[in-house]
Amino acid sequence: MTTTAHATTVIDSAPLSLRELARAVGAEDQWVLQLVAVEILHVEAPEQPPERWQFRSVDLQRALAARRLQRDFDANLETAALILDLQGELRRVRAVLAAHGIG
């Protein structure tokens, strides 16, 4: 057993580049560009060249989920985008219900 101490980074204070996000989900850069095109990922400054785009935790979460939907269900990216939006809506509604002591 080995013990190692490490400096850590929360992605939101040190965003990922497009290349880093692609590596983190085991995909090619081109795949991340497709996620942006179908609006699974939203970039703050789309007019900037892709190498200057920045991605945060929520983007990594959505990219991982899209990758799994594609891998496990052969979902195309438009379908994955819809499922992710519906999942997000489901969580939002559940949070509202919980905030009102329901559910």
Partner 1 sequence: MDFKDYYSALGVARDASDDDIRKAYRKLARKYHPDVSKEPDAQTRMRDINEAKDVLGDKEKRAAYDQLADRVARGGNPDGGFAPPPGWDEGFEFHRGPNAGPADHADFSDFFSSIFGNAARAGGGGGARGPYREKGEDHHAAIEIALEDALNGAERQISLRAQVLGEDGRPRLETRTLDVKIPPGVRPGQFIRLAGQGLPGHGGEPAGDLYLEVRIAPHRLYRVEGHDLYMTLPVTPTEAALGAQVTVPTPGGGQVDVSVPKGARGGMKLRLKERGLPGKPPGNLYLLIEIALPPADSDAVRAAYEQLAKATPFNPRKDLVS
Pick 37 or 97: Cβ nearer partner 1: 97
Q: How far is the CB of 47 from partner 1 (least distance, A)?
A: 26
CB of 62 to partner 1, least distance (A): 10
User: Would you say 70 or 79 has its CB closer to partner 1?
Assistant: 70
- At closest approach, how far in Å is the CB of 50 from partner 1? 19
Six-digit token pair at 20? 């880093």
Q: Taking Cα atoms as reference points, which of 46, 45, 19, 44 lies closest to residue 32?
A: 19
C-alpha–C-alpha distance, residues 25 and 41, integer Å: 13
Produce one character per residue of 44-65: b if its CB has 16 or more CB atoms within 10 Å, e if not. Answer: eeeeeeeeebbbbeebbebbeb
Q: Which positions lie near partner 1, rule CB under 8 A? A: 1-14, 23-27, 57-58, 60-61, 64, 67-68, 70-73, 87, 90-91, 95, 98-101
